[in-house]
Amino acid sequence: MDSSRFLASLAQALSTMTLYKSGHPARERVIDRSLALLGELLEADPHPQFSFLGDEVVHGKTSLRDLRDWEWSARFAGAGIQRLEFDPEVTRDDFVQFLDTVAARLGGAAAAIDTSEMRHAGKRPTIRFGSIGIRSDDDATRRAIEKDIVTATISFQFGEEVDAIKYMHEQVMQNGGLPLLEAEAVVRSLSVAMHGESEMMLPLLMLKEFDQYTTTHCLNVSVLTMALAEHLELNARDVRTFGVAGLLHDLGKVRIPTEILNKPGKLTDDERTVMQNHTVEGARLIITSDRELDMAAAVAYEHHIMLNGGGYPKRHYQRDVHKASTLVHVCDVYDALRTNRPYRAAWESERVLKYIEEKAGSEFEPEIAAKFVEMMRALEGKTATVEFPAKAAVSA
Ligand SMILES: [Fe+2]
Ligand SMILES: [Fe+2]
């Protein structure tokens, strides 16, 4: 099986299609060749799935080394195609239609001819693509997360949770594998902490040392995201799935050198590029660890993208981000501004909420921003500040 050869033929077909009209022999030839290679691929892997993460291409769980820095990967991702999957029964018509749609997107043509779902009217298309988060059959994730929450009286101490997060980050750093069970356990435990009292509480960790930032921040973003998801009346399963996405949103930071991560001063352009790459890196780490976590991967990728298209990673094709990304984005900014950083003191809660209101409609999804501000004002007095555990020993 050679998935790289197929992808190269796909790129060639797309380039050729911009030069020749339908029916031209050169065009038909490259389409046939690519379709033949797809046939070979489907024999070895009946449901191939590809992810395009900027400079990296992943087939299933395997990163395709020979396609590192392949220009087409960034091109696909920029056109809103971060994920591409095929069913074994792809026809030539399906394939041509797919190529036409992608060619239109790449050419920047109005993508009104978009999604394959529309044209297949109810029938599941044999070729599916879109952002990483588009997925309907994530039953395994549901089953894994849909365990009953054990209610317990909690004292607001997050020793075990902090340990579990540290352990998770260390595992990712050492072997690239993400211990999903730990992530889910932390989220369940945070959920218990939030509902331990008769009314909802918002337990947020307080940062003591700068090097605790990533741990503190991802725990808080997970709590805030779950609270917001609940406030938006999502069901319990989705609330926890969003909580996992909040917990993992900055996972890519484990790969950023600490000198850059904790640098007190302004970052240089090169350092900023490295820093911003935590989005792509995080999505890659998550997707290669667990195929079922693609919503978390979408959030890792998209949580710095603003409503008006600003932020990063840059996209050439305007499309909406996953709903979970809009929630995590506002919670992320809230927690970041509420925290003392080497270069700036923490802001008061009200100042942050005003800021979020100001940026609603440009940076933030207005409805989500309004709901977040409403929730935080309603929870005033119900926010428990939790001390960072003094001696959080890492336990396996
Ligand atoms: Fe981030
Ligand atoms: Fe963040």
List pLDDT tens digits, range 191-229: 888 886 667 888 888 877 777 888 899 999 999 999 999
Q: How far is the CA of 217 from the centre of ligand 2 (A)?
A: 7
Q: Which ligand is nearest to the CA of 335?
A: 2
pTM of the predicted structure, to 2 decimals: 0.63
Task: Name the token pair of 370.
Answer: 């309004």
pLDDT in tens, 351-385: 999 999 999 999 999 999 999 999 999 988 778 77
Give the pairing of strands 49-52 and 83-86.
Answer: antiparallel
Q: Using 50, 70 and 90 to split pLDDT, how confident is the model at 259?
A: confident
Tell me how far the alpha carbon of residue 31 lies from the centroid of ligand 1, in angstroms.
40
pLDDT attached to residue 283 = 93
SS3 114: coil
Closest CA relative to residue 345, chosen from 334, 336, 357, 332: 336
In this predicted model, what pLDDT tens digit does every residue of 298-310 receive, in sequence order?
A: 999 999 999 998 9
Average pLDDT estimate for 290-294 = 77
Q: What are 118-129's pLDDT values in tens digits?
A: 344 456 788 887
Residue-wise burial string across 16-39, b where 16 or more C-beta atoms lie within 10 A, e elsewhere: bbeeeeeeeeebeebbebbbebbe
Half-sphere exposure of 281 (CA within 13 A, CB side): 16
Mean pLDDT of the chain: 82
Which ligand is located closest to the Cα atom of residue 334?
A: 2
* 117 alpha carbon – ligand 2 mean position (Å): 33
| Distance from Cα 276 to the centre of ligand 1, integer Å | 8
CA 71 to ligand 1 centroid distance, Å = 25
pLDDT over 90, % of the chain: 40
Report which of 368, 211, 354, 384 is spatially closest to residue 303, judged by C-alpha positions.
368
214 CA distance to ligand 1 centroid (A)? 10
Say yes or no to pLDDT of 131 above 80: no
- Confidence check: pLDDT of 117 > 60: no
Residue 154 Cα to ligand 1 middle (Å): 29
Q: Which residues pair with 360 in a beta bridge?
A: 364
**Structure tokens given for 178:** 């993400």
Compare 73 and 377 and report the one with higher pLDDT.
377
Tell how far the Cα of 277 is from the centroid of ligand 2, in angstroms.
13
Using the mean position of ligand 1's atoms as its centre, give its distance from the Cα of residue 184 in Å.
20
Q: What is the pLDDT at residue 249?
A: 97
Q: How far is the CA of 72 from the centre of ligand 2 (A)?
A: 28
Ligand nearest to the backbone CA of 218:
2
Q: How far apart are CA 296 and CA 322, in angstroms?
A: 10
pLDDT of residue 102: 84
